[in-house]
Amino acid sequence: AVSLKGRDFIELSDYTPDEIRYLIDLAIDLKRKLKDGETYHPLKGKTLGMIFEKSSTRTRVSFEVGMYQLGGQALFLSRNDLQIGRGETVSDTAQTLSRYLDGMMIRTFAHRTVIELARAATVPVINGLTDLAHPCQVLADYQAVLEHKGRLEGVKIAYIGDGNNMVHSLLIGAAKLGMHMSVATPEGYEPDEDVVRMTKEYAAETGARIHVCRDPREAIEGADVVYTDVWASMGFEAEQKEREQAFASYQVNEELVSRAKSDFIFMHCLPAHRGEEVSEGIIDGDHSIIFDQAENRLHAQKAIMAAIMG
Ligand code: CP
Ligand code: NVA
């Protein structure tokens, strides 16, 4: 049996395929429990601290509601209100907060901040997004793929757009779960080389096929899942104009998706910019499952918290 008690959740690379699958199955079970009105309070009396150095709608609300549904409570801690904003070290913050809390979630810029926090903390730390990774989103997303496609292994995902935090976590998750993934990005916006290398090593073990290319039409050919994300992520807003030019031929629209499988599903982590990375017709059309993904953030994160903090 899988036990994840006391573990951090920083990137899917830290988890085995069985452990990831365990969390997805637990998320599906917690989703059913919630819909059936079953109470489940494994975290009664426990508190999660949520440190936010960037904005959030889904992550903040789903963690807070999720913690409440599991019988515990969550504290919203914004960078500006913490002494961290005035220069207290990440390590001192981690050691102090560990004396009050049963777990911490952090959304920040540099990935090393999360690593540093986890190293100094004596309670589990969850990555709620960094510039490098967004593993909570991917757990929820692959739960949604499983729900819609009935399987994960052998499913083909095409990611079109920026080689950002989303694509990194999607790649690692896909390779670990035996899903095939093709990524198309403009020149200069490729996914991180180390992540791609690591992903290919996992893929060799699971039979996943990982392909990184330039041409969106090549990437989307025969895809079961079409995924995109904003062209300018949080922290890159100043580059919006130059990115609009670089990504102009990378919009997921009616013409591009005609090359995907006829029953493809469209996915986006949200927030989205309609008319930029995706046409309105596709994101609001019949193939889109964006709000199932958003909903699953609640179930997937409850699974993570119950498993590591329970
Ligand atoms: N997808 C996601 O993480 O959304 P928020 O930025 O609203 O949390
Ligand atoms: N890539 C986006 C994801 C937001 C959930 C960002 O980092 O802003």
CA 269 to ligand 1: nearest atom: 1
* Active site annotation includes 119: no
Tokens of residue 37, six digits:
């009105």
Question: Of 7, 8, 60, 107, which is the active-site residue?
Answer: 107
- Partnered with residue 288 across adjacent β-strands are 266
- Phi then psi for residue 243, to 5 deg, are -70, -35
Residue range 206-231, pLDDT digits in tens? 999 999 999 999 999 999 999 999 99
Examine the domain organization and report whether 53 and 196 are in the same domain: no
Tell me whether residue 69 is in a domain.
yes
**Residue 296 among known ligand-binding residues:** no
CA distances to 25, 140, 150, 282, 289 from 147, rounded to whole Å, are 11, 11, 6, 20, 11
Indicate which CATH number applies to the domain containing 203.
3.40.50.1370
Examine the domain organization and report whether 147 and 32 are in the same domain: no
* Active site annotation includes 192: no
Query: pLDDT class for 56, splitting at 50, 70, 90?
Result: very high
Q: Which ligand is nearest to the CA of 60?
A: 1
% residues pLDDT > 90 (the chain) = 99
Examine the domain organization and report whether 62 and 205 are in the same domain: no
| Residues with C-beta less than 6 Å from any ligand 1 atom | 56-59, 129, 137, 269-270
Residue range 44-55, pLDDT digits in tens? 999 999 999 999
Tell me whether residue 2 is in a domain.
no
Query: pLDDT class for 12, splitting at 50, 70, 90?
Result: very high
Distance 165 CA to ligand 2 centre (A): 7
Number of domains in the chain: 2
Residue range 149-164, pLDDT digits in tens? 999 999 999 999 999 9
Examine the domain organization and report whether 287 and 302 are in the same domain: no
Determine the residue type at 22.
Answer: Y
Tell me whether residue 7 is in a domain.
no
Ligand 2 in reach of 301 Cβ (< 6 A): no
Examine the domain organization and report whether 166 and 250 are in the same domain: yes
Report ipTM for this prediction: 0.99
% residues pLDDT > 70 (the chain) = 100
Ligand 2 in reach of 166 Cβ (< 6 A): yes
DSSP, res 137: H
Examine the domain organization and report whether 201 and 233 are in the same domain: yes
C-alpha to C-alpha distance for 172 and 151, rounded to whole angstroms? 17
Tell me whether residue 4 is in a domain.
no
Region 97-121: what's the mean pLDDT? 98
Tell me whether residue 1 is in a domain.
no
Tell me whether residue 94 is in a domain.
yes
Examine the domain organization and report whether 208 and 301 are in the same domain: no
The mean of the pLDDT values for the chain is 98
Domain encompassing residue 68: 12-133+294-309
Residue 1 has a pLDDT of 87
Examine the domain organization and report whether 124 and 156 are in the same domain: no
- How buried is residue 221: exposed, middle or buried, by Cβ count under 10 Å (0-12/13-18/19+)? middle
* Active site annotation includes 107: yes
Examine the domain organization and report whether 120 and 211 are in the same domain: no
Examine the domain organization and report whether 193 and 52 are in the same domain: no
- The answer on pLDDT for 71 being more than 90 is yes
Region 100-118: what's the mean pLDDT? 98
Residue range 174-202, pLDDT digits in tens? 999 999 999 999 999 999 999 999 999 99
CA 136 to ligand 1: nearest atom: 3
Residue 257 has a pLDDT of 98
Examine the domain organization and report whether 239 and 210 are in the same domain: yes
Examine the domain organization and report whether 44 and 93 are in the same domain: yes
Distance 136 CA to ligand 1 centre (A): 10
- Phi then psi for residue 82, to 5 deg, are -85, 155
- Phi then psi for residue 170, to 5 deg, are -60, -40
Residue range 121-132, pLDDT digits in tens? 999 999 999 999
Tell me whether residue 80 is in a domain.
yes
* Active site annotation includes 297: yes
Residue range 241-287, pLDDT digits in tens? 999 999 999 999 999 999 999 999 999 999 999 999 999 999 999 99
pTM score, whole prediction: 0.98
Question: Of 7, 243, 268, 297, which is the active-site residue?
Answer: 297
C-alpha to C-alpha distance for 282 and 284, rounded to whole angstroms? 5
Residue range 284-300, pLDDT digits in tens? 999 999 999 999 999 99
Tell me whether residue 3 is in a domain.
no
| Site to substitute for ligand 2 among 230, 268, 293, most atoms within 8 A of C-beta | 230
